Amino acid sequence: MGTLDSRVPKGDSLSDKWSNYKEHINLVNPANKRNIDVIVVGTGLAGGSAAATLAELGYNVKAFCYQDSPRRAHSIAAQGGINAAKNYQGDGDSNYRLFYDTVKGGDYRSREANVHRLAEVSGNIIDQCVAQGVPFARDYGGLLDNRSFGGVLVSRTFYAKGQTGQQLLLGAYSAMNRQIARGKITMHNRHEMLDVVKVDGKARGIIARNLITGEIERHSAHAVVIASGGYGNVYFLSTNAMGSNATAAWKIHKKGAYFANPCYTQIHPTCIPRSGDYQSKLTLMSESLRNDGRIWVPKNLDDVKAIRDGSKKPTDLSQEERDYYLERRYPAFGNLVPRDVASRAAKERCDAGYGVNATGEAVYLDFASAIERYGKEQAKINNIDNPSSEKIYELGQAIVEAKYGNLFQMYEKIVDQNPYETPMMIYPAVHYTMGGVWVDYNLMTTIPGCYCIGEANFSDHGANRLGASALMQGLADGYFVLPYTIGDYLADDIRTGTISTESSEFDEAEKSVKEKLAFFINNKGSHSVDYYHKKLGNIMWEKCGMSRNKKGLEEAIQEIQEVRKDFWKNVKVPGSLNEFNQELEKAGRVADFIELGELFAKDALDREESCGGHFREEHVTEDGEAKRDDENYAYVAAWEYTGEPSEAILHKEQLEFKDIELKTRSYK
């Protein structure tokens, strides 16, 4: 077991670290930047913003995405918003408060200095995006509007309808387009990175497959940036896109990048419940709905039964017959508790038999009170005396529609029920992974010259991410952090010249990639890739899901190993190598998910405490809340690959909290 150096600048107070550090790191002269190449893998908020900014600075950027355009990266699906400590509402927000909320929300398992930096640059992100033409929501005075998200007591979330991720990504995409037009970014769409190439210990390129022709290509650079997103699809069913995968992150792990805290996974409380075995993915209903929606299940099991068999409708139940369990358990934060808390509370009620749909895995998210409240408010504004309840409903519904219309429409399309008339049914689903590739303060992995940004790294959200913070982190890394820190490393490369792809290192990497692909095509097994992916997903959900225990995790490790063995023996991939072959793409990704799943279970087993999204049944307080063990587990678990996930070596980065006192997280 080793220890890790986070390279957080010593000295200075927390709030001065980043500005002092920036002023003293090495720079690359503008004339030299044009002799330096940088590869960026992934074009979501982190990768897209990094590619654009690095190109603006003058580096030659080679960007890769598996989609047909950078604009389709899964950041596009983020709905609710982006946090920034602008304090436009005058409600007491500040960089410190955003920093504090994020560290507390992460259950004191994130790196203090990184989170403070994130809070410091949050305001710049909003300025930058507005300058790019991102159409954020505004109030009638023409100024930017805010909404509230879970786990905080201020209103600091900027949004663009329920499509904030889309608008921010299209902003980064537009910045990329400007650089593509200038020739500073060479864009490789429909390409998938299949390995990183190290020369003299440094990351110097990648092997990528052209997904249209199947051609295996070599690309060299002075540094490689991985921005390939999270690994939520290890569960098969998640809110991730179908193509979201961990391959780039896992390949660098196998070449020497430590993988940190894989067991920290966010299960989002408000998703549309699953309906059948054919289900291919789960759909999120934005956390912003919890601003106005109240979550409940019936108080009496008889009513649950009646609702399930259709003899009662949820709207038949009086207020007294409903259990608004979040408001009951957490009066201070109510329906706006953080995601991990809300998810576990839903599971607790459903496990106790109060689930309201046929599968017993659903709770209500109800807008009736909000409609009434807004209706009365509007009646007052419009000088309507003694409005009828129909009028109140009509006025209130219009407001709810203006705020959440696209989400309500999405719900109705999927579930075929009108959420204005009957409460939505929701259940937690895998949404985001806080764990990821270990990086230091510079966002560099343990492979020199290999960086990792956005959801793919581990650094900022600890054991639980707060709503609207993923967009903030992706853009902070890409626009405002990496472009500085990477210069410090590249300053040593101004005399290196172009990296040749004609070297034994590239030969070897290409050969092993080709062999693996050929194996899949030639195996002619008996089961499809999806068959294995679903098997893996089932183990992960049952044993590494919302609550975990020693026995289950040990079983999970064993079962995943069996799935892996069976996969490599019996997987069936039709078609050929040199063509557009989506089954072949999936095979490589699932192979990596199976290995990652095993490390995930191992990490969860090792962490003998409950914190954030990681809930160990052995470690609970008397009232059923997560019980941390700061004395023994206030560390980042960074795993070193040694050939088998089960034999990974643990390296600890001890977390220091100088500006924040470690406290039991309470939202009561």
Catalytic residue positions? 339
In whole angstroms, the minimum distance from the beta carbon of 190 to another protein comes to 8
Between residues 160 and 346, which has the closer beta carbon with respect to another protein? Answer: 160
Sheet holding 2-3, edge to edge: 2-3, 649-654, 635-640, 259-260, 436-437
In whole angstroms, the minimum distance from the beta carbon of 652 to another protein comes to 34
3-class SS at 43?
coil
Which uninterrupted H or E stretch holds 53? helix 45-57
Write out the binding residues for another protein, residues 379-418 only, by CB under 8 A.
Answer: 409-410, 413-414, 416
3-class SS at 614?
strand
The answer to whether 242 contacts another protein (rule: CB under 8 A) is yes
In whole angstroms, the minimum distance from the beta carbon of 551 to another protein comes to 33
Burial 582-598 (b: 16+ CB within 10 A, else e): ebbbbbbbbbbbbbbbb
Q: Which segment (120-128, 146-154, 417-425, 548-556) binds another protein by CB under 8 A?
A: 120-128
Residue 11 gets the label, from left (phi > 0), alpha (psi -120 to 50) or beta, of: left
Query: Could you say which of 67, 233, 270, 446 contacts another protein (CB under 8 A)?
Result: 67
Q: Which segment (220-228, 229-237, 479-487, 654-662) binds another protein by CB under 8 A?
A: 479-487
Other CB atoms within a 10 A radius of the CB of residue 658 amount to 9
Where does residue 646 rank: exposed (0-12), middle (13-18), buried (19+ CB within 10 A)?
middle
Between residues 54 and 544, which has the closer beta carbon with respect to another protein? Answer: 54
User: CA-to-CA distance for 91 and 114, rounded, in angstroms?
Assistant: 25
Write out the binding residues for another protein, residues 575-594 only, by CB under 8 A.
Answer: 575, 579-580, 582-583
Provide the token pair at 348. Answer: 């607790």
In 57-114, DSSP assigns E strands to: 60-64, 82-83
In whole angstroms, the minimum distance from the beta carbon of 400 to another protein comes to 17
Angle of helix 112-131 relative to helix 164-181, nearest 10 degrees, comes to 70
Contacts of 279 (CB under 8 A, 6+ apart): 237
In whole angstroms, the minimum distance from the beta carbon of 572 to another protein comes to 6
Query: Could you say which of 404, 451, 458, 480 contacts another protein (CB under 8 A)?
Result: 480
Write out the binding residues for another protein, residues 276-315 only, by CB under 8 A.
Answer: 276, 278-281, 283-284
In whole angstroms, the minimum distance from the beta carbon of 143 to another protein comes to 5
The answer to whether 210 contacts another protein (rule: CB under 8 A) is no
Count of residues touching another protein (by CB under 8 A): 81
Q: Are 223 and 590 in contact (CB under 8 A)?
A: no
Query: Could you say which of 4, 137, 398, 650 contacts another protein (CB under 8 A)?
Result: 137
Between residues 177 and 422, which has the closer beta carbon with respect to another protein? Answer: 177
In whole angstroms, the minimum distance from the beta carbon of 507 to another protein comes to 29
In whole angstroms, the minimum distance from the beta carbon of 267 to another protein comes to 18
Beta-bridge partner residues of 37 = 60
Query: Could you say which of 25, 144, 306, 662 contacts another protein (CB under 8 A)?
Result: 144
Between residues 173 and 354, which has the closer beta carbon with respect to another protein? Answer: 173
Between residues 275 and 654, which has the closer beta carbon with respect to another protein? Answer: 275
Contacts of 463 (CB under 8 A, 6+ apart): 106, 107, 109, 110, 261, 264, 340, 434, 611, 612, 613, 614
- x/- mask, another protein, residues 150-179, rule CB under 8 A, reads ----------xx-x-xxx--x--xxx-xx-
Between residues 212 and 649, which has the closer beta carbon with respect to another protein? Answer: 212
Residue 446 gets the label, from left (phi > 0), alpha (psi -120 to 50) or beta, of: alpha
Q: Specify the residue for token string 């109060």.
A: 354
Provide the token pair at 541. Answer: 């959900």
- x/- mask, another protein, residues 537-576, rule CB under 8 A, reads -----------------------------------x-xx-
The answer to whether 126 contacts another protein (rule: CB under 8 A) is yes
Write out the binding residues for another protein, residues 77-96 only, by CB under 8 A.
Answer: 77, 86, 88
Write out the binding residues for another protein, residues 12-51 only, by CB under 8 A.
Answer: 49
Query: Could you say which of 114, 189, 245, 261 contacts another protein (CB under 8 A)?
Result: 189
- x/- mask, another protein, residues 328-367, rule CB under 8 A, reads ----------------------------------------
Query: Could you say which of 30, 90, 141, 643 contacts another protein (CB under 8 A)?
Result: 141
Query: Could you say which of 4, 12, 15, 130 contacts another protein (CB under 8 A)?
Result: 130
Provide the token pair at 133. Answer: 């033409």
> Residue 125: which of 59, 230, 227, 45 has the closest Cα?
45
Contacts of 319 (CB under 8 A, 6+ apart): none
User: CA-to-CA distance for 54 and 322, rounded, in angstroms?
Assistant: 54
Burial 277-298 (b: 16+ CB within 10 A, else e): eeeeebbbbbbbbbbbbbbbbb
Say what the alpha-carbon torsion angle 51, 57, 60, 65 is, to the nearest 10 degrees: 0
Query: Could you say which of 140, 381, 390, 502 contacts another protein (CB under 8 A)?
Result: 140
Between residues 262 and 273, which has the closer beta carbon with respect to another protein? Answer: 273
Between residues 406 and 496, which has the closer beta carbon with respect to another protein? Answer: 406
Between residues 173 and 259, which has the closer beta carbon with respect to another protein? Answer: 173
Between residues 501 and 570, which has the closer beta carbon with respect to another protein? Answer: 570
Q: Which segment (256-264, 274-282, 346-354, 490-498) binds another protein by CB under 8 A?
A: 274-282
Between residues 137 and 399, which has the closer beta carbon with respect to another protein? Answer: 137
The answer to whether 270 contacts another protein (rule: CB under 8 A) is no
What does DSSP assign to residue 617? T
What is the 3-state secondary structure of 222-257?
CEEEECCCCCHHHHCCCCCCCCCCCHHHHHHHHCCC
Provide the token pair at 446. Answer: 């343990």
Say what the alpha-carbon torsion angle 493, 494, 496, 497 is, to the nearest 10 degrees: 130
Query: Could you say which of 14, 76, 297, 362 contacts another protein (CB under 8 A)?
Result: 76
3-class SS at 169?
helix
In whole angstroms, the minimum distance from the beta carbon of 349 to another protein comes to 24
Beta-bridge partner residues of 636 = 653
3-class SS at 194?
strand
